[in-house]
Amino acid sequence: MKENKYDNDDFFEKYSNMGRSRNGLEGAGEWHELKIMLPDFKDKRVLDLGCGFGWHCRYAVENGAKSVIGVDISQKMLNEAKNKTKYENIEYICMAMEDIDFLEESFDIVISSLALHYIKSFEDILDRIYKCLSKGGDFVFSVEHPIFTAKGLQDWHYDGNGNILHWPVDHYFTEGIRDAKFLGEEVIKYHRTLTTYLNVLIKKGFEITGVVEPKPAEDMLNTVPGMSDELRRPMMLLVSARKR
Amino acid sequence: MKENKYDNDDFFEKYSNMGRSRNGLEGAGEWHELKIMLPDFKDKRVLDLGCGFGWHCRYAVENGAKSVIGVDISQKMLNEAKNKTKYENIEYICMAMEDIDFLEESFDIVISSLALHYIKSFEDILDRIYKCLSKGGDFVFSVEHPIFTAKGLQDWHYDGNGNILHWPVDHYFTEGIRDAKFLGEEVIKYHRTLTTYLNVLIKKGFEITGVVEPKPAEDMLNTVPGMSDELRRPMMLLVSARKR
């Protein structure tokens, strides 16, 4: 079943109270690195897969995008996105990312923030993205890092006193479903190796233009408790690519 | 100091007895994956950085290379390489990889197997490789995976009974020297993030054509004791790139 945890009332409430939900892009630890990987939006047609509250859709318009379509499976998320949005050239569509079927070359830029690890087949979604992207168009996405998703538990390994010892990695080459905890709820994610993320892109006809494992911004390191532990293992993977 | 552990008698003896040293390419667990990333050697001028016993140099010639230069810092390794080599178009040069200074566009292919993690500056060696590689030329290398080098100890995390629990990752974003144990001896290696390996390549003018974390070959999984643990974490990173 396609994951739609965000229409669950409790989960939605908790998600809405996260720093990244309340404070938008600036509240997201990776934004300072993702931002510089994004292409120039001026006069571009943009698709945002798993748009959530629509922060990236609005950013695209505020930076000159001609039109933006945001796709999300959660109606609750899109209702909130619409409440936050005053731009006429953003359209929100409630559907599973896996089902997108836009006309060829409908977009110049496709973005997706922390959503593709909910998708079972990276190959399939990539075929759909490739089709609807114009030649020379940009695809920029973030996912949870394969090192973060491999074991499945998504937690540190602690000593007997509750102190962090290290990040545990296991089952790396066993791709597929992981039952992870997120905001205290069970969430189904899909683990994929770095090899799969990058080589499928290359094989499908994309050129890789950037690969970044984001570190927390300096100001967050100094002000947010526990943030320095984020230097101990990579949590996210940001990739930019261009359709040949 | 540039690492030359291989001229130490004890270390050289132990290395010489490893499966990958005795049995050559077929004895290396990643060879079946590296092989298919290599370009066509026919009539090409090849440079092998950290060539060791010269297995890849000979492979290149046996697959049609016009000429091969193998560079290694260890005279003992090169003596053994020369003993094993009957081809006149392979030349071995005893020097540190860090010091190579070939004329512009001297080579069509540069390869390096499990050597670049001994190098302090990836940027600097990449400048040297870029310079001596022809336009459109291929650079293919393997290194220990950043997940393998991050913590430094390079060993599994065990329970009280000596059973493997998982692979520990720590200090990921702290690049630099790691004192690792290899064949019972202290060896200095340099940890770098995946971001550094791939983005430095892109920024220096290479196009990434393949990224593979090799899994053991099926026959090794079934016959070599402990090999199935190699599916639990990535140990190596293979990258192919092309000079623009």
User: Which of the four pLDDT bands, split at 50, 70 and 90, describes residue A194?
Assistant: very high
Q: What is the structure's pLDDT at B22?
A: 72
pLDDT score for B150: 97
Q: Span A119-136, mean pLDDT?
A: 97
| Whether A151 contacts chain B with CB within 8 A | yes
Each domain of chain B, given as residue ranges in start order, spans 5-145+194-243
The answer to whether residues B43 and B51 touch, using CB atoms and an 8 Å cutoff, is: no
Show the tokens assigned to A36. Answer: 């510089």
**Residue matched to tokens 């938008």:** A24
pLDDT of residue B233: 97
Can you say whether the dihedral through the CA atoms of B128, B213, A194, B138 is positive or negative?
positive
Q: Does A86 contact B at CB distance below 8 Å?
A: no
The ipTM assigned to this model is 0.92
- Contact B150/A at CB under 8 A: yes
| Distance to chain B for A75, nearest Cα, Å | 36
Verify whether the Cβ–Cβ distance B231 to A172 is below 8 Å.
Answer: yes
- Asked if B233 lies within 8 A of A167 by C-beta distance, the reply is no
| pLDDT value at A201 more than 60 | yes
Model pLDDT, residue A119: 94
Task: Average the pLDDT over A47-70 and give the result.
Answer: 97
Mutate to test the interface with B, among A142, A143, A170, A221 (most CBs of B within 10 A): A170
Q: Does B215 touch chain A (CB under 8 A)?
A: yes
CB of A171 within 8 Å of any CB in chain B?
A: yes
**Number of residue pairs across A and B with CB atoms under 8 Å?**
105
- Average pLDDT score over residue span A216-220: 85
Q: Do B151 and A166 touch (CB under 8 A)?
A: yes
Architecture of domain B5-145+194-243: 3-Layer(aba) Sandwich (3.40)
Distance CA A139, CA B145 (A): 26
**Subunit contact B168:A170, Cβ cutoff 8 A:** no
Q: Give the model confidence (pLDDT) of B165-209 as tens digits.
A: 999 999 999 999 998 777 777 888 999 999 999 999 999 999 999
> Are the C-beta atoms of residues B128 and B105 closer than 8 Å to each other?
no
Cross-chain CB nearest to A167 (options B169, B195, B213): B169
Q: Quote the percentage of chain A above a pLDDT of 90.
A: 77
Find out whether A236 and A114 touch, Cβ atoms under 8 Å.
yes
Give B167's contacts in chain A (Cβ within 8 Å).
168-170, 172
pLDDT at site A1: 52
Q: What is the mean pLDDT of residues A186-207?
A: 95
| Residue B75 DSSP SS3 | helix
pLDDT attached to residue B185 = 78
Residue B176, chain A, CB below 8 Å: the answer is no
Q: Cβ of A232 and B166 within 8 Å?
A: no
pLDDT for the residue B39: 98
The whole-number pLDDT of residue B225 equals: 86
Nearest to A195 among B165, B169, B211 (CB): B211
What share of chain A has pLDDT > 70, as a percent? 100
Q: Assign domain A5-243 to its CATH superfamily.
A: Vaccinia Virus protein VP39 (3.40.50.150)
Q: Which residues of chain B have pLDDT under 70?
A: 1
pLDDT of the residue at B223:
87
